[in-house]
Amino acid sequence: MREDILALVYSAIDEVDPLTAAGAPLTKTPEAHLLGSDDGVDSLTFVNIVVALEEQIRQKFGRAVVLVDEENMAAAEHPFRTIRTLAEYVEKVLGKN
């Protein structure tokens, strides 16, 4: 996984953390849970992270991407389980474009 992609995810988290309902910052480690776990974030925080990340990608790479779609949300092993799986998914999406 490229470190610059992970840095973008962390930057999106930094942008969203002050807006979270719980007020507790999300741990910025690759193993931190996002969705599908009791330790994950709430749905509003998740949406805000994705929107912030899509904007980070647009600014850094000059490309608009849509990270969430029906297909990947329905997958048993969706890419939004942890920060690591999200970063790997972003890397894959950017490689396709």
Instruction: Give per-residue pLDDT as tens, 53-84.
Output: 999 999 999 999 999 988 887 777 889 999 99
Percentage of the chain with pLDDT > 90?
Answer: 57
Tell me the residue range of the domain where 59 lies. Answer: 3-96
Query: What CATH number is given to the structural domain containing 54?
Result: 1.10.1200.10
Cα–chain-centroid distance for residue 17? 13
- What total number of domains does the chain contain? 1
Site of tokens 């849970």: 33
Give the global pTM: 0.87
Q: Is 33 helix (H, G, I), strand (E, B) or coil?
A: strand
Q: What pLDDT sits at residue 67? A: 93
